[in-house]
Amino acid sequence: MGRTSRDRPIGATLADEIRTALGSPPDLVCRTVITDEGRAVQCVYLDSLIDKRAIDEFIIDSVRRNAFPEKAGEPAESGSPYMRELPLRAPYGTIRDEAVRAVVDGQCALIDEAKERLCLIDIYDAPGRQVEEPKTEPTIRGSYEGFTENIRTNIGLVRKRILDPQLRFERMTIGSRSRTDVMMIWMDNLAPQELVREVKRRLAAIRTDSVLESSYIEEFIQEKTLTPFPTLLNTERPDKVAAQLLEGKVAVMVDGTPFVLVAPLTFFELFSSAEDYYQRADIATFIRWIRLISFFVAVFAPSLYVAATTFHQELIPTQLLISLSAQREGVPLPAFLEVMLMEIVFEIIREAGLRMPRAVGQALSIVGAIVLGQAAVEAGLISAAVVIVVAVTGITNFVVPVYSFGMSQRLLRFTFILLAGFMGLFGVLCGTLLLIAHLVSLKSFGVPYMTPFAPVSMSDWRDTLVRTPRPRMDPNRLPASIRLLKRK
């Protein structure tokens, strides 16, 4: 043992094989450390994935000082998942694969020829952001911490908020090529076992080569694909995830993305923000209603404008009709096309603004919003009222606290404009009925999407339509969605 069939030192051979298996990457480091006893220990790691300080100050130093267990032959049980020792006596293919995998995972492989041991030490520290303010869900009051791309940091952000031994984590590796770390989190005493089992089952059933963002997972585990509505909450706020876990929900963290998934999700939870619980109850209720109104404005305003101005002019108050009619004098396009055109232009500007560098994006928004709108009105291409409708719609679209729900609203808005353009209010009404039917048919991990309105649970309206003051809330009462699952 300790020798390959070609009678070459196994340490050097293993190091070479790791190099070959990884295609001799520039960040692979293979160095030989000579211990105080004069033994040569091969140290192999990927320079880009490890903590360099740990290598220099701890590992190399420890190896030199011969600080590892002395007992030859029998690897020590470290008891830590971050440090494993394997005997080199094991079948060579297994040892090689293990070493290659460990190096790719950001571990340092120490090959001690003399003691016939392979020691794998997890000193993973990939380059990434520090904890910063969440980009998509900023708040005025409350924590400014947001998740990062590092799953370990993210676990810490949740853990420090819930210092309860009942907090459970389960790690999975998904993606045959990316081998992404996925972490399931739940409160053992709060989350319904059925929900935990179901999430586990769906995660385990995923067959894919890579998971680069939590949306990959979302698409695999959501109940219905053909729906504009998100059935899993995605958030980059640790406080929100902590609150959801305390309500008995299950979170799914994916390494490499700050967006954490939470299941189950109901429609009205899309209108509540973490800040609702940091503000006074009356203010939070008011803001929640503003969000509800904004949703209706964002989805229906352009279609109602098209329907009313094209088919049902009798519904418009006389003075407003005169004013709108005056604005439309000389406008060449029908109201339907006018609105469609402006909405598409607005979406283009928004999309361009997102992709552009921040400094340019600001200039672009000025050009788009002011110059283009004003110029189009003055050129007589569109009426001023349409600019107002599109602008109001655009602004109200950003009111919802969940970005993915904002995207759903955009899709719905275009559908309703089409219906209004073809069939007027009748079309809008038909669309609304279909939308309601669709919403009622949706489920998120077995929970009806319209809970607590369908099925009705009036006691939960106190945290749906309004936000009841905290002293009047029962801290032990779980939301209707979770109670439903527990009852099953």
Partner 1 sequence: MSRRSLAIAAIFALLSSLLASCWDKAEMNELALVSMVGLDRDPDSGLYTVWLQIINPASGASAQKMPGGEQAPVYTYKVSARSFAETQLSIYKLMPRKMFVHHAKAIILSERTARRGMRDFLNFTELMPDARSSVPLLIADGPLEDVMHTFTPLERNPADSIASRLQLLYELGLMSGRRIEIRDVIERSAKREIIVLPLVAPTARQGDPNSWQVNAEIDASINQLKVGGGAVIRDYRMIGRLSDKELVLYNLLNGSRGRFVRRYPFRDGHITVNMKSRRVQRKLEWRDGKPFVRVRIRLDISTLTMSEFHPQTMEEVRELERHVSRCLADELTAFLESARGKGWDLLRVRGLLRRKAPKLADLDKIADEAEIGIEVESRITGMGNLSRLYDGTGGER
**Cβ proximity to partner 1, 277 vs 336, nearer residue:** 336
Note the residue count of the chain.
488
CA distance 1 to 7: 10
Alpha helices in 130-261 (DSSP H): 151-159, 193-204, 214-221, 238-246
Q: Is 331 in the site for partner 1 (CB under 8 A)?
A: yes
Applying CB under 8 A, which of residues 208, 310, 432, 457 lies at the interface with partner 1?
310
User: Any idea what the Cα angle at residue 409 is, between residues 375 and 230, rounded to 5°?
Assistant: 150
Q: Do residues 42 and 115 touch, judged by C-beta distance below 8 A?
A: no
Applying CB under 8 A, which of residues 55, 335, 390, 478 lies at the interface with partner 1?
335
Q: Is 329 in the site for partner 1 (CB under 8 A)?
A: yes
Q: Is 441 in the site for partner 1 (CB under 8 A)?
A: no
Q: Is 322 in the site for partner 1 (CB under 8 A)?
A: yes
**Cβ proximity to partner 1, 114 vs 321, nearer residue:** 321
**Cβ proximity to partner 1, 331 vs 356, nearer residue:** 331
Applying CB under 8 A, which of residues 5, 130, 318, 476 lies at the interface with partner 1?
318
SS (H, E, C) 27-48: CEEEEEEECCCCCEEEEEEECC
**Cβ proximity to partner 1, 103 vs 308, nearer residue:** 308
**Cβ proximity to partner 1, 82 vs 422, nearer residue:** 422
Residue span 181-220 as binding mask against partner 1, x where in contact by CB under 8 A, dash where not? ----------------------------------------
Q: What are phi and psi of 271, to 5 degrees?
A: -95, -5
* CB-CB neighbours of 267 under 10 Å: 21
Q: Is 381 in the site for partner 1 (CB under 8 A)?
A: no
Which two tokens mark 125? 């520290």
Q: Is 321 in the site for partner 1 (CB under 8 A)?
A: yes
Q: Is 328 in the site for partner 1 (CB under 8 A)?
A: yes
Applying CB under 8 A, which of residues 305, 311, 405, 449 lies at the interface with partner 1?
311
Q: Is 435 in the site for partner 1 (CB under 8 A)?
A: no
Collapsing DSSP states into helix, strand and coil, what is residue 128? coil
Question: Helices 384-397 & 281-310, crossing angle to 10 degrees?
Answer: 150
Q: Is 374 in the site for partner 1 (CB under 8 A)?
A: no
CB of 427 to partner 1, least distance (A): 8
CA distance 87 to 75: 6
> 374-394 burial, b for 16+ CB within 10 Å, e for fewer?
eebbeeebbbbbbbebbebbb
H or E stretch at 83: strand 83-87
Could you tell me the CA-to-CA distances from 383 to 298, 308, 347 in Å, in that order?
Answer: 19, 15, 18
Q: Is 313 in the site for partner 1 (CB under 8 A)?
A: yes
**Cβ proximity to partner 1, 63 vs 377, nearer residue:** 377
CB of 382 to partner 1, least distance (A): 13
CB of 264 to partner 1, least distance (A): 24
Q: Is 422 in the site for partner 1 (CB under 8 A)?
A: yes
Residue span 225-264 as binding mask against partner 1, x where in contact by CB under 8 A, dash where not? -x--------------------------------------
State the DSSP string of 162-178.
---TTEEEEEEEE-TTT
**Cβ proximity to partner 1, 67 vs 315, nearer residue:** 315
Binding site for partner 1 (CB under 8 A): 226, 309-311, 313-314, 318, 321-331, 334-335, 422-424, 426-427
